[in-house]
A and B are shown apart, each in its own frame.
Chain A
């Protein structure tokens, strides 16, 4: 477990909602979708920096609240005619808790 850090309970995020995790490298948006799957991506749209955690979720996609770009939550890839990709992070769920890869939270450590 040392590579993963507990960031909170699954139930801390309502269904189809998102919360953010603050790191020194910027915010990570953590989504829980209607099927109870959890996704983590950078909370920053590659287009104009929109906070993706504030968008509307549908299926396994998120629509940016600023200009309606749509991203696949699995791959971070922009959908449709827009081109761009947002960084994704690995999470896992154990006993109702969400764990996120440590390297996502402390980039400096990974670099050392």
Chain B
């Protein structure tokens, strides 16, 4: 008969333990899982993305109620253990009493609450579980609320970034002189601080909290130096301590944590402990990788196999978008240590390696962390680096003069190289999974769990799979365009050019399309590829366009349309506004709205009325704003040096020039621009496909931003001196994207594929190429800068779209 195994605590360590037990021998134990939190196991590492809104709770559940039921695990959730009777071997909660043969304690850790006055006020919270996140989200709903985060470590900063992203004013109080002092040295800490301050997070270092103020709820935080920060919530994130109260009550050996041996056994024979609550050889654990190792060891111990836990070197990454940092090993200064430092102040890159006797013992990187895994490997292996010391800091691509091929670096990794730190998956584990039959990335992820926790190693995992599967491996980007063809998007584009295919039917014929006239996926893509490849020659196929682009208005949920006239650079006139008002009156437009792109939207228009409305708008000098296009949308501007006391350049004028150059162009996806007159960035240029920020010395051209399903800040493409250069660079970038990106990929997705460095080579280093791209764009524009509204309102273009074939509503039946 199966033995009874009672596990106290449903966290990431015990979750992994249960998986290991079931995978190895599901019949060995009847498992009873007790958890004080009223839910099962979820991925606590991902609480920060839930807080920032990038993920939902549902996304991070690792074990659902069904999973427990399917695996015959008895669960008591929302029940705290009140007593353990070691003599009779029973565990009691308020409402249950269960017997055990063997007991596992996985009570995790508790946040440290600093002992200051006011710490018990409502509004003071920790950042440990979903309930904390929910409390924070509730606080975010109040507009312009203030949050004070006490503790500038990993978790505190992730909380601060998440709260900021949710719209709160955030101040971080940190007791040490620089942020994340346990993982970063002062230089990297300084870069991190600058990055966070750039996003408007206020940082106060060497801050000693004196009291939390408030009557019935928290109002403010008072520091020893007299500073007062107003606060609607206070998040305490100063550290954790192992949750050992239960173990102490039971009389187990407890130091800082519950003491366990190499097999995860406590001081009592049939009681074990795992996770953040333990202490192993004087060491405590707070990161997930060693917890998973412990779970593996404990599972083997429970099943009577030999296994020994020995902690490995760990690295740290911060999950705050745009703050790229990496640290591993030991990096304190000492007499017998040397260091190699690389700095690039403009790019905000800092790398430091700490050497002792020709071996790397520590690494800190900020701004460019691509080589972190390679250095970590060198730290773990203790390899003598004297032979490659000259170029060591430049990473694997440079060391030994190897070609700059990302795959070559991955191919060179030894089998025990760690790919996924969270789940302890090595390159060898992935290769073994493939050997055993895993035939793709998804299968490898399912079997090894690589890249399924924090996800930062997703690219590396894919590369390892790619190397070992070779030609059999198809990266998702290289998938076929649709089920009608075996060619990928990239292949189709190349063949359209090389074979001179100038119509959709010709392309389908020559490229052996498997359907007679394509499908909803390939037809719009082909139509765009033709538009881009053959400006002036290609006859646009309206029937291969989505409805909005076919009828030049945006369809709404009830089948009516919305109409947005163009206003170059967001500048309008009283006459234009009067004309818009007249149209709204004349056609009973139910809703008139100002859009996010600084334009006016008339919503709720019947399709049949569109040409007449356009006629009136045309008469007032306005044309289509193409708010429906996979193409140039709007150029948002601030008032710049014309009116603003901070403006450095004529941002409005530049915006108008850009929009006059670019309107009418089609592209793989929509393309939005903004021009800000100074770094205060009132036009929000840093989340656009292309943004320009004017500075005293010229124009910063930024690319690859997004503010939709994904939120991304732009990267600097280049800074140029004159307005003409800025316009040429913008045109050239747009053309490079138009010619290269797969249909329906926004620029940021395309840049992720080709690399920002490659874009710079094409557009910044090679001025001849930049000029040629810009010239190709202008050539194409001759044919596409035609107002589609005028064609339809005055020239009868595609009139059939807007009129019924027949109308029997007024005829009487015979």
- A residues contacting B by CB (< 8 A) are 5, 7-8, 12-17, 19-24, 27, 30, 34-35, 48-51, 54-59, 63, 65-66, 68, 70, 105-106, 108-109
Interface string of B113-128 (1 = CB under 8 A from A): 0000000000000000
Known: A22-B804, A23-B808, A58-B518. A14 touches B543 (CB 8 A): yes
Q: Does B334 contact A (CB under 8 A)?
A: no
Taking a contact as CB atoms closer than 8 A, the residue among B518, B551, B800, B808 that contacts A54 in the complex is B551
- What is the CA–CA distance of A49 and B557 in the complex, to the nearest angstrom? 8
Q: Which chain B positions have C-beta within 8 A of A14?
A: 543, 800
Give chain A nearest CB distance to B153 CB in angstroms. 45
**Residue pair A59, B515 in contact (C-beta under 8 Å):** yes
Name which of B519, B558, B804, B805 has the most chain A CB atoms within 10 A of its CB: B805
A-B contact pairs, 13 of them (CB 8 A): A5-B808, A16-B517, A17-B800, A21-B804, A21-B805, A21-B806, A21-B807, A23-B808, A34-B516, A49-B558, A58-B515, A58-B519, A58-B523
Among B515, B519, B806, contact of A8 (Cβ-Cβ < 8 Å): B806
Known A20-B805, A106-B808, A108-B813; judge A15-B543 contact (CB<8 A): yes
Q: Closest residue to A29 on the B side, CB-wise?
A: B805
Q: What 9 pairs across the A-B complex have the smallest Cβ distances?
A: A19-B805, A106-B813, A16-B543, A65-B547, A54-B547, A109-B813, A51-B559, A22-B807, A7-B806
Q: Which residues of A contact B545 (CB under 8 A)?
A: 56
Q: Are A19 and B804 in contact (CB under 8 A)?
A: yes
Residue of B nearest to A52 (CB): B559
B809 in the interface, Cβ–Cβ < 8 Å?
Answer: yes
Judge whether B341 is part of the interface by a CB distance below 8 angstroms: no
B523 to chain A: which residues have CB within 8 Å?
56, 58
Near A by CB (< 8 A), chain B positions 549-563 give 550-551, 555, 557-559
What residues on A are CB-neighbors of B542 within 8 Å?
17
Minimum CB–CB distance from A98 to chain B (whole Å) comes to 8
Interface membership of B774, Cβ < 8 A: no
Looking at the assembled complex, report how far the CB atom of B607 sits from the nearest CB atom of chain A, in whole angstroms: 8
**A56-B543 CB under 8 A given contacts A23-B809, A65-B555, A66-B557:** yes
B41 proximal to A (CB < 8 A): no
Contact B805 A12 (CB under 8 A): yes
Determine if B517 and A21 form an interchain contact, defined as CB atoms under 8 angstroms apart: no
B804 in contact with A17 (CB, 8 Å): no
B546 within 8 Å of A (CB atoms): yes
| Residue among B515, B542, B806 with most chain A CB within 10 A | B806
Chain B residue at minimum C-beta to C-beta distance from A8: B805
* Contact between chains at B520 and A56 (CB < 8 Å): yes
Provide the bound-state CA to CA distance between A50 and B518, in Å: 22
Given contacts A51-B559, A54-B551, A108-B813, contact A13 B805 (CB under 8 A): yes
Query: Are the CB atoms of A22 and B808 closer together than 8 Å?
Result: yes
Q: Looking at the complex, which one of B558, B800, B805 makes contact with A7 (CB distance below 8 Å)?
A: B805
For A16, A49, A109, the residue with the greatest tally of chain B CB atoms inside 10 Å of its CB is: A16
Query: Interface size on B (CB < 8 Å)?
Result: 32
Could you say which residues of chain A place their CB within 8 Å of the CB of B808?
A: 5, 21-24, 105-106
16 extra interface residue pairs, beta carbon distance < 8 Å, beyond A13-B805, A58-B518 = A7-B805, A7-B806, A12-B805, A13-B800, A14-B800, A17-B543, A19-B800, A21-B804, A21-B808, A23-B808, A27-B804, A56-B520, A58-B523, A59-B516, A70-B520, A106-B808
Binary contact readout B506-517 vs A (1 if CB under 8 angstroms, 0 otherwise): 000000000111
Interchain CA distance A102-B813 in the complex, whole Å: 9
User: Which residues of the other chain, A, contact B557 by a CB distance below 8 angstroms?
Assistant: 48, 66
CB of B156 within 8 Å of the partner chain: no
Q: Does B544 contact A (CB under 8 A)?
A: yes
CA distance A55 to B546 in the complex (A): 7
The interface residues of chain A lying within 8 Å CB-to-CB of B543 are 14-17, 56-57
List B contacts of A55 (CB < 8 A).
547
- B377-390 CB mask vs A (1 if < 8 Å, else 0) is 00000000000000
Q: Which residues of B contact A50 (CB under 8 A)?
A: 559
A49 in contact with B559 (CB, 8 Å): yes
Nearest CB of A to B87, in Å: 58
Q: Is B396's CB within 8 Å of the partner chain A?
A: no
Distance in Å: Cβ of B229 to nearest Cβ of chain A? 47
Complex-state Cα separation, A63 to B520, whole angstroms: 7
Cα A65 to Cα B557 with chains together (Å): 10
Name the residue on B nearest A16 (C-beta): B543
Across-interface contacts of A19 in B (CB, < 8 A): 800, 803-805
Give B517 Cβ to nearest chain A Cβ, in Å: 5
* Residues 796-814 (chain B) with a chain A CB within 8 angstroms: 800-801, 803-809, 813-814
Bound Cα distance A109, B544 (Å): 39
Q: Give Cα A108–Cα B814 distance, bound, in whole angstroms.
A: 11
Q: How far is the CA of A28 from the CA of B302 in the complex (A)?
A: 70
Nearest residue, chain B, Cβ from A62: B520
| Any A CB within 8 A of the CB of B668 | no
Whether, in the assembled complex, B524 has its beta carbon less than 8 Å from a beta carbon of chain A, the answer is: yes
Residues of B within 8 Å of A48, CB to CB, are 557
Query: Which residues of A have CB within 8 Å of B558?
Result: 49
Q: Is the CB of B544 within 8 A of A56?
A: yes
How many Å lie between the Cα of A42 and that of B800 in the bound state? 19
Specify which chain A residues have a CB less than 8 angstroms from the CB of B515 in the assembled complex.
58-59
Smallest Cβ-Cβ distance to B524: which chain A residue = A56
Residues of chain B contacted by A27 (CB below 8 angstroms): 804
Contacts of A30 in B (CB 8 A): 805
8 Å CB interface, B487-525 against A: 515-520, 523-524
Point out the residues of chain A lying under 8 angstroms from B807, CB to CB: 21-22
Chain B min CB distance to A14 (Å):
7
* In the bound complex, CA of A48 to CA of B803 (Å): 23
Q: How far is the CA of A54 from the CA of B546 in the complex (A)?
A: 8
Q: How far is the CB of B152 from chain A (nearest CB, A)?
A: 46
CB distance from A55 to the nearest CB of B (A): 7
**Residue of B524, B555, B813 touching A66 (CB-CB under 8 A):** B555
Residue of B nearest to A5 (CB): B808
A101 → chain B, closest Cβ, in Å? 12
Report how far A65 CA is from B555 CA in the complex, Å: 8
Instruction: Please give, as numbers and ranges, the residues of chain A lying within 8 Å of B555 by CB-CB distance.
Output: 51, 54, 65-66
Residue of B nearest to A67 (CB): B557
Which of A22, A58, A63 contacts B517, CB < 8 Å?
A58
Closest to A33 in B: B517
Min C-beta distance of A85 to chain B, whole Å:
20
The CA of A14 and the CA of B798, in the complex, are separated in Å by 9
CA of A71 to CA of B519 in the docked complex: distance in angstroms? 13
User: Considering the chains assembled together, what is the distance between the CA atoms of A8 and B807 in angstroms?
Assistant: 11
Least Cβ–Cβ distance between B516 and chain A, in angstroms: 6
Cα of A69 to Cα of B76 in the assembled complex, Å? 43
Q: How far is the CB of A91 from chain B (nearest CB, A)?
A: 11
Q: Which of A5, A22, A35 contacts B809 (CB 8 A)?
A: A22
Q: Mark B236-278, 1 if CB is under 8 A from A, else 0.
A: 0000000000000000000000000000000000000000000
Chain A residues near B559: list those with CB within 8 A.
49-51, 54
Distance of A48 Cα from B22 Cα, bound (Å): 45
Q: Chain A residue with minimal CB distance to B798?
A: A14
Q: For the complex, what is the distance from the CA of A24 to the CA of B808, rounded to whole Å?
A: 7
Assess the B804–A65 pair: CB atoms within 8 A.
Answer: no
Q: Which of B761-809 contact A (CB under 8 A)?
A: 800-801, 803-809
B525 → chain A closest CB, angstroms: 12
A109 to B811, CA, bound (A): 12
B39 CB → nearest A CB, Å:
31
Q: How far is the CB of B595 from chain A (nearest CB, A)?
A: 21
Question: Are B546 and A65 closer than 8 Å at their CB atoms?
Answer: yes
With a cutoff of 8 Å between Cβ atoms, the chain B residues found around residue A8 in the complex are 805-806
Residues of A within 8 A of B801 (CB): 17
Q: A17: which B residues are within 8 A, CB to CB?
A: 542-543, 800-801
- Tell me the bound Cα distance from A103 to B201 in angstroms: 69
**Smallest Cβ distance from A61 to chain B, in angstroms?**
8
Min distance, Cβ B171 to any Cβ of chain A, angstroms? 44
Question: In chain B, what residue has the closest Cβ to A6?
Answer: B806
- Taking the closest CB of chain B, its distance from the CB of A12, in whole angstroms, is 6
Taking CB atoms, residues of chain B closer than 8 Å to A51 are 555, 559
